[in-house]
Amino acid sequence: MSVRQSLLAILDQGPCYGYQLRTEFDRRTGSTWPLNVGQIYNTLERLDRDGLVEKGDTDDQGHVYWQITEAGRAEVREWLDSPVVRSAGTRDELAIKLAVAATLPGVDVAHVIQAQRRASLAQLQELNRAKYAGPDPDGPEELAWSLVIDSMIFTAEAEVRWLDHTEQRLALHPQHAMALELSTARPKRGRPSARTDQNAAAGAGR
Can you give the pLDDT at residue 188? Answer: 79
Count of residues making up the chain: 206
Mean pLDDT of the chain: 85
Q: What are the start-end ranges of the H helices in 30-174?
A: 37-49, 70-81, 93-101, 109-129, 140-171
- Tell me which long-range contacts 70-76 makes (C-beta under 8 A, separation of at least 24): 72/8, 72/11, 72/12, 72/47, 73/12, 75/5, 75/8, 76/5, 76/8, 76/9, 76/12
Kindly state the percentage of the chain with pLDDT values over 70: 85
Q: What is the pTM of this model?
A: 0.70
Q: In CATH, what number does 3-81 get?
A: 1.10.10.10
DSSP secondary structure code for residue 131 in this structure = -
- Delimit the domains of the chain by residue range: 3-81, 93-181
Per-residue model confidence as pLDDT tens digits over 84-98: 887 776 678 899 899
| Residue 14 vs residue 189, higher pLDDT | 14
Question: Whole-angstrom Cα distance, residue 159 to residue 110?
Answer: 16
What's residue 191's pLDDT? 62
1, pLDDT greater than 70 = no
